[in-house]
Amino acid sequence: MGEPVVVWVFVLTVFVMALVGTGWLRSYAVARELMDVPNQRSSHAVPTPRGGGLAVVIAFEAALMAGWAMGALGSDVVFGLGGAGAGVALLGFLDDHGHIPAKWRLAGHFLASGWFLVSLGDLPPIVFGDSVIFSGTALWLFFCLYLVWMLNLYNFMDGIDGLAGVEAVTVCLSGALVSWSAGLASGALLPLLFGGAMAGFLVWNLPPARIFMGDVGSGFAGMTLGGLSLYATVQAPPLFWAWLILLGVFIVDATVTLVRRVLAGYPPHQAHRSHGYQYASRRFRSHRAVTLAVGVINVVWLLPLALLVSWGWLPSVIGLVIAYLPLACLAWLFRSGDVRYQDLSGI
């Protein structure tokens, strides 16, 4: 599948599958009144169908199987990333249709992450300059925690119209460009396929959203993006830092919010609306403005830095710090995790 035309036809097919599938799921949800009803923790004002992320799951999993059948993807990808993603999606689907206790969801997340890492095989150590930061068992535990955090933070950040979709599409396209520009064209296929699936869903989720992703899609998206970053790492270790840069908006907002809430004495799993992006959407009274801003930040600010790191023109950790500092300032400016203002609609 090295021909560009074939690749783009493949990506377009996945896009259409997700687009049509999301539309069907919306009709199904409306007919059966499977609606996300606004409450005091919501960022939307009208009942909206949920569960559209299932179309992304089906489209991407089908793409993995098709790629495997055509010899473009290895069995480690299908059974590793596909299996871990399917497990997380199943947990999210069950939670969407009936509450699953947080401890059991977390146990499932660790099991899926472990499954993926075992399928991945040997991972290169994380280094800073000439020093090894993580290797061996410590490296495995670090990446396991990283995957669990990625899939949970994506659920936390899926709170306003279009945000999770725009994040996934821009990060995937950027990640594909980073791999291609680093001379690893084969590493661009998976991000393009997942980006195509998310783009199909995004057509229905752009503000004002006509359907929400639901836990079935948000957890799957977080696991998949985390997995894609580790596949890139296996191909070229500096690409791990490049992907961390590309994912910076979600990582910084979610991490700052969680740390501030835990320090204030709130349980980490408690529902809330004190993320920076939620404060920003209320301050500007617009989901569209915040979602568009995140897309612009990803493309205009984070992508160039990720490219410089992947080319070796900028030291990895220095590039990460340069990328994250303005994001941390924005998180502070928009009061990420500041519980004093989370219930004030005018802020």
Q: Secondary structure of the chain in the HEC alphabet?
A: CCCHHHHHHHHHHHHHHHHHHHHHHHHHHHHCCCEECCCCCCCCCCCEECCCHHHHHHHHHHHHHHHHHCCCCCHHHHHHHHHHHHHHHHHHHHHHHCCCCHHHHHHHHHHHHHHHHHHHCCCCCEEECCEEEECHHHHHHHHHHHHHHHHHHHHHHCCCCCHHHHHHHHHHHHHHHHHHHCCCHHHHHHHHHHHHHHHHHHHHHCCCCCCCCCHHHHHHHHHHHHHHHHHHHHHCCHHHHHHHHHCHHHHHHHHHHHHHHHHCCCCCCCCCCCCHHHHHHHHCCCHHHHHHHHHHHHHHHHHHHHHHHHCCCCCHHHHHHHHHHHHHHHHHHCCCCCHHHCCCCCC
pLDDT at 96 over 50: yes
d(CA 83, CA 220): 11
Judge whether 155 is annotated as a binding position.
yes
User: Looking at the predicted structure, is the pLDDT value of residue 149 above 50?
Assistant: yes
Asked if residue 208 has a cis previous peptide bond (ω within 30° of 0), the answer is yes
- What pLDDT shows up at residue 40? 56
Please say whether the beta carbons of 92 and 48 come within 8 A. Answer: no
pLDDT tens-place string over residues 272-316: 888 999 999 999 999 999 999 999 999 999 999 999 999 999 999
Distance CA 223, CA 149 (A): 9
Query: Are 249 and 167 within 8 A, CB to CB?
Result: yes
As given in the structure block, the two tokens for residue 109 are 């997340």
> Taking 80 as the threshold, does the pLDDT of residue 45 lie above it?
no
Domain layout of the chain by residue ranges: 4-341
**Burial (0-12, 13-18, 19+ Cβ within 10 Å), 339:** middle
Q: Give residue 346's pLDDT band: very low, low, confident or very high (50, 70, 90).
A: very low
Q: What does the block give as tokens for 43? A: 């960022």
Q: What is the pLDDT of residue 127?
A: 80
Is 80 a residue whose pLDDT tops 90?
yes
pTM value is: 0.95
Q: Does the annotation place 343 within a ligand binding site? A: no
pLDDT digits (tens, 9 = 90+) for 190-218: 999 999 999 999 999 999 999 999 999 99
